[in-house]
Amino acid sequence: MTAGTVTALLFTVTGLQVGNTVVRVDFTGTSPLCTNTGSRFLTVHVIERPVIIQQPTSQSVAAGTDVTFTVVAAGNLLRYQWRLNGVNLLAATGNTLTLTNVQPTNAGDYSVTVYNAAGVVNSDSVSLTVTNVSSLPFTDQFDGPGNSISGPGGQGHGTNSGATRQPGEPLHAGEKGTNSVWLTWRAPANGVVVLSTLGSDVDTLLAVYTGNTVTNLTEVASDNDSAGFLTSQLKFYAIAGTDYHIAVDGFHGAQGQIVFSWDLVPSTTAIPRILTQPVPKSGPTNDDASLLVGFDSVEPVVVQWFKDGQLARQTNFPAGGSDTFPISNLRKSDVGNYRVRIVPAGAPTDTTREVFSKLVRVQIHVRGDGTVVRDVFTRDKFLETADAVAAAPASGPISKSSKIRKLSGGPARGFRGTQIFSTVGSSKDPGEPNHCGEPGGASEWYAYQPPASGLLILDTEGSDFDTVLAVYTGPGTDFESLVPVACDNDSGSNGKTSKTVFQATQDTVYYLAVDGVEGASGTTVLNYNLGVPPTLTQQPSSRSVPAGSSVTLSVTATGTPGPFYQWRLGQADLSGATNSSLTITNFQSANEGDYRVVAGNFAGVVVSVPATVLLDSPLRLGALGMNGNGQFQLRLIGQANTNYVLEASTTLTNWVPLLTNAVPNGIWDYVDVVSSNFSHRFYRAMRGP
């Protein structure tokens, strides 16, 4: 290397075994400016994919017991991430997980992911059951019998395994479920009651109703995942003597063990009640994405808006009403997950009397062609994304009379677009793949349906955290049905964003998962760009032209994005000749030759057939020679739109007409198919009649 410079040298070390190896690198200076001689020692880590040797085991213990789960794995530089119901546990990153003084709310399915740079492996899912908990009288049918519970509070367990859904039964928490069980609780006093399924090993849906028949119920409150670890929690003000029908279902058919608790705090003052939930918003930049909440209260309240868990706005109200979080000019900084907290102004820290709205998403969806679509979202759960795809209308052409298109929240479409969304608060589903060999833990799912077959580029450029991107196809029924297509961890421009490139098939639904390395989360910018390689539908044509004239060659090409062009004379690019047509003024002999055009985009390149352009005077024969079949071929060059007679002779005195032909472009390529019958033959051409 040159003195004063920094150079990277690559070398190969062979024969290394798994483990740590110290390699000595010797160096000697050969320049007068660098005469140092010495060595350096490098430690090389050779690792192998982890293998679990001993799985954790299920445990059934009494409340108050300490519990330890252990996994034993082979490999080196191993890392661990424990999960409860598929959701990452904070700071649970060793080969053991210890839970002290366990309670029924600690129950559920535990697992651990073991990983290093060589790969990742998931342990078996094992259960923690707390034994000294009473059994609750859950029934499959809404009206029991015998499903009553009583008292101001309690805790117990049950199961929805084998339960069914009744005709006319509502969708609990607005989500798809098929295995609901019911309890009926009569409030012993007025007060604030909290219901929870924390400790269940199933992704629960929880809802409370009043009414007498399953087909005519009035919802009081409902929830999907507020208790954490895919369990539910809700709060409402109960009226003494009222029967409340409580439904616990499994999200998308999930079945398992349920831990259920209720806790009534007597009160004569009703807590605030949300009447109108804010709704999710997705639209183009500069769109109006303002959020509205409507509420009722018998006393002054504080209304707080939280974005990704951080307080974003606070307003005091003398009583019930409505509040708007203004987002009149949607920008990337507005993207996030929003929730409203309403609490009495006189007791702003009283968690018993606070109520929360449902979590809603504000996202940006931009189409490259300007089409406005306001209901394309990412979703935390894969099956929610699959449901949205199933509910969307079949893909088809967009009416050219309108740039606004309303869908039912199905897959993104179009050739180019961007979705900006937040993964803060997102989690991982039970059984979800470790995308691109990373354990992750904060994934969002997206669906894209290409309008044509071509080269699809997906990337997360512009995201503010270390992303992982994976692409799948499949029917969308469950994770086992997914077929991996492509994935990437750090191929983006900054070494932390992700990029994949693959051939996509028209109308196939691609499921895209964006996760964060080691569960990182933040604002994601997901870009898709579909390219269809160019096809030449009109080739340039050969011709002869008069000296000094202007000549225009042109092609017509399809492709998305529209192709670039580069004209060539022979093998040399023509400077500035970058349009679909090429005009040559004052054509002279120096301009004669074969012209081609290269048309291309990022999806592919196509080269036109050669267009030969020659001077039309004098009349002459050229390109003489034998073809591959041993037949003589020649080219006549003359004026266009003229009839020519081609003659042959073996004596130069007795000429025989071979053919009279109209030559519209002035160039006539002729093959003498009987030339092999002669030892020699002469040819001449002249104007015909």
Q: pLDDT (tens digit, 9 = 90+) per residue, 231-281?
A: 999 999 999 999 999 999 999 999 999 999 999 999 999 999 999 999 999
607 and 549 share one domain:
yes
pLDDT, position 84: 98
Residue 663 pairs in a beta bridge with 642
Q: How many CB atoms lie within 10 A of CB 131?
A: 12
Q: Which of 498, 618, 597 is nearest to 546 (CA)?
A: 618
Average pLDDT over residues 92-104: 98
User: Are 496 and 428 in a shared domain?
Assistant: yes
Instruction: Please report the pLDDT score of residue 20 as a whole number.
Output: 66
The Cα–Cα gap between 382 and 513 comes to 8
Range of the domain at 194: 134-266
Does 240 reside within a domain?
A: yes
Q: 30 pLDDT exceeds 90?
A: no
Which pLDDT does position 397 carry in this prediction? Answer: 39
Here the CATH number for the domain that contains residue 336 is: 2.60.40.10
Answer yes or no: do 484 and 392 share one domain.
Answer: yes
Is 676 part of any domain?
A: yes
The average confidence (pLDDT) of the chain is 94
- As a whole-number percent, the residues of the chain with pLDDT over 90 amount to 89
Read off the pLDDT of residues 566-600 as tens digits, 9 standing for 90 and up: 999 999 999 999 999 999 999 999 999 999 999 99
Residue 149 domain-assigned (yes or no): yes
Q: How far apart (Å, rounded) are the C-alpha atoms in residues 466 and 105?
A: 33
Q: Any idea what the CATH number is for the domain that residue 169 is in? A: 2.60.120.380
pLDDT > 70 in the chain, percent: 92
621 shares a domain with 582: no
Contact 480, 425 (CB under 8 A): no
Which residue among 472, 507, 527 closes a domain? 527
Helix (H, G, I), strand (E, B) or coil at 423: coil
Q: Are residues 147 and 245 in the same domain?
A: yes
Check whether residue 583 and residue 513 sit in a common domain.
Answer: no
Q: What is the pLDDT of residue 575?
A: 98
How many structural domains does the chain have?
A: 7
Q: Residue 549: pLDDT band by 50, 70, 90 thresholds?
A: very high
Beta bridge partners of 458: 500, 528
| 185 and 61 fall within a common domain | no
Closest to 445 in 3D by CA, of 360, 524, 380, 363 = 380
Residues comprising the chain, all counted: 689
CATH number at residue 683: 2.60.40
Give the integer Cα–Cα distance in Å for 460 and 497. Answer: 5
The span from the CA of 531 to the CA of 504, in Å, is 9
d(CA 136, CA 127): 20
DSSP for residue 387: H
| Interior angle at CA 284, CA 281 and CA 289, nearest 5 | 35
**pLDDT band per the 50, 70, 90 thresholds, residue 406:** very low
In a shared domain, residues 225 and 161: yes
Contact call for residues 631 and 568 (beta carbons, < 8 A): no
Considering the domain architecture, whether residues 402 and 514 belong to the same structural domain is answered as: yes
Beta bridge partners, 646, equal 659, 685
| Residues whose CB falls within 8 Å of the CB of residue 215, separated by 6 or more in sequence, listed in order | 167, 168, 169
**Residue 597 burial (10 A CB sphere; 0-12, 13-18, 19+):** buried
pLDDT score at 611:
98
Q: Tell me: pLDDT of 668 over 50.
A: yes
Q: Answer positive or negative: Cα dihedral of 517, 521, 527, 530.
A: positive
Contact 419, 364 (CB under 8 A): yes
- The secondary element (H helix, E strand) that includes residue 249 is strand 243-250
Please state, as a whole number, how many other Cβ atoms lie within 10 Å of the Cβ of residue 570: 10
Instruction: With CA atoms as reference, report the closest residue to 470 among 425, 493, 427, 502.
Output: 502
User: What mean pLDDT comes out for the span 45-66?
Assistant: 94
Determine the pLDDT at residue 398: 37
Among 306, 339, 361, residue at a domain's last position:
361
Those residues whose C-beta lies under 8 Å from the C-beta of residue 494, and which sit 6 or more positions away, are: none
Residue 154, burial from CB neighbour count under 10 angstroms (0-12, 13-18, 19+): middle
Determine the straight-line distance between the first and last CA of the chain, rounded to whole angstroms: 77
How many whole angstroms separate alpha carbon 304 and alpha carbon 272?
13
532 part of a folded domain: no
Query: Where does the pLDDT of residue 13 fall: very low under 50, low under 70, confident under 90, or very high at 90 and above?
Result: low
pTM listed for this prediction:
0.88
Q: Which residue has the tokens 């580029």?
A: 457
Domain assignment of residue 533, yes or no: no
618 — phi, psi (to 5°)? -80, 165
The arithmetic mean of pLDDT across residues 311-332, rounded, is 97
Distance CA 504, CA 501 (A): 9
Which helix (H) or strand (E) segment holds residue 260: the answer is strand 257-266
Going by pLDDT thresholds of 50, 70 and 90, the confidence category of residue 396 is: very low
* Range 19-37 average pLDDT: 64
- Of 92, 113, 130, the residue at which a domain comes to its end is 130
Residue 687 has pLDDT above 60, yes or no: yes
Buried b / exposed e over 174-198, threshold 16 CB at 10 Å, is: ebbbbbbbbbbbebeebbbbbbbbb
Do residue 522 and residue 553 come from a single domain? no
Looking at the fold, whether 398 and 476 belong to one and the same domain comes out as yes
In one-letter notation, the amino acid at residue 205 is L
pLDDT at 402: 36
**Is residue 534 assigned to a domain?**
no
For the segment 506-521, the average pLDDT, to the nearest whole number, is: 98
Residue 18: pLDDT band with limits 50, 70, 90: low
Q: Report if residue 70 sits inside a domain.
A: yes
Same structural domain for residues 511 and 454?
yes
Closest C-alpha to 417, from 391, 439, 443, 447:
447
Rg (C-alpha) for the chain, rounded Å, is 37
390-396 own/partner pairs: CB under 8 Å, 24+ apart: 390/476, 395/449, 395/451, 395/507
**In the structure, how many helices (H) and strands (E) does the chain have?**
1, 54
Cα–Cα distance measured from residue 206 to residue 180, given in angstroms and rounded to the nearest whole number: 9
pLDDT band at 392 (very low <50, low <70, confident <90, very high): confident
CB atoms within 10 A of CB 269: 13
At 592, list the tokens.
């004669």
Say if residues 524 and 459 touch (Cβ distance below 8 Å): no
**Which uninterrupted H or E stretch holds 443?**
none
Within a domain: 249: yes
